[in-house]
Amino acid sequence: ETGVTQSPTHLIKTRGQQVTLRCSSQSGHNTVSWYQQALGQGPQFIFQYYREEENGRGNFPPRFSGLQFPNYSSELNVNALELDDSALYLCASSSGSSEKETQYFGPGTRLLVL
Amino acid sequence: AQKITQTQPGMFVQEKEAVTLDCTYDTSDQSYGLFWYKQPSSGEMIFLIYQGSYDEQNATEGRYSLNFQKARKSANLVISASQLGDSAMYFCAMREDFYGNNRLAFGKGNQVVVIP
């Protein structure tokens, strides 16, 4: 196990609602990245937080937002949910934001939007 | 443009045999990193092996090895002595220096089923 935890494990929402997903990083890690994995696809990078600041963002609309806390845990917030937001959301932690750092993933949160 | 290509269909492998999973990538960076992750049905992405673009030796980690051919832009994963627990999706991913952070771009994955 990586020591990265995510909550909740599963979630069902309806279109237009808002959702918050949580991630606790591995001890000693100060960087958290979030990915969206649609069914049958590879994960897609949403954004990364390094020492509480956003440090890069993928091709996702502003209704996807995040936070990182002083203990380096993180939240992913999605507003105005759409059906296509149904996916596995993975967070990954690493000990820095440099290119040499390996990312370790949590078990994911499965979100279903009806 | 797709940066990581994994095009093999699902694969059935006999237990104890070796299997090679293909991955080709596209980048104009000179410095980049290549990763392989395993994703069982539970969903967690498990890190397997890493190859840096400047590494002269092919990476190895236990039963996993990476056949890195830089000129061909390929980074194939070899799993030796397959075990039933190796049944999973396998993802190749690349990290480029361009973005100034360690975001990963993933391929679509290879499905492996190990049969006794």
What confidence tens digit (pLDDT) does each residue in A6-47 have?
999 999 999 999 999 999 998 888 999 999 999 999 999 999
CB–CB contacts below 8 A, A to B:
78
Q: Measured between beta carbons, which residues in chain B are less than 8 angstroms from residue A97?
A: 100-102
| CA dist., res. B77 & res. B80, Å (int) | 10
**The dihedral formed by the CA atoms of B11, B12, B14 and B17, expressed in degrees to the nearest 10:** 0
Q: Which two tokens stand for residue A87?
A: 């996916």
Q: What is the pLDDT of residues B5-56, one digit of tens each?
A: 998 888 999 999 999 999 999 998 888 899 999 999 988 999 999 999 998 8
For A56: left if phi > 0, alpha if psi spans -120 to 50, otherwise beta; the answer is left
* Mean pLDDT, rounded, for A101-110: 92
Has residue A98 got a pLDDT over 90?
no
CA distance A102 to chain B (A): 8
Give me chain B's average pLDDT, please.
Answer: 92
Closest Cβ opposite residue A108 in set B44, B95, B105: B44
CB atoms within 10 A of CB B3: 15
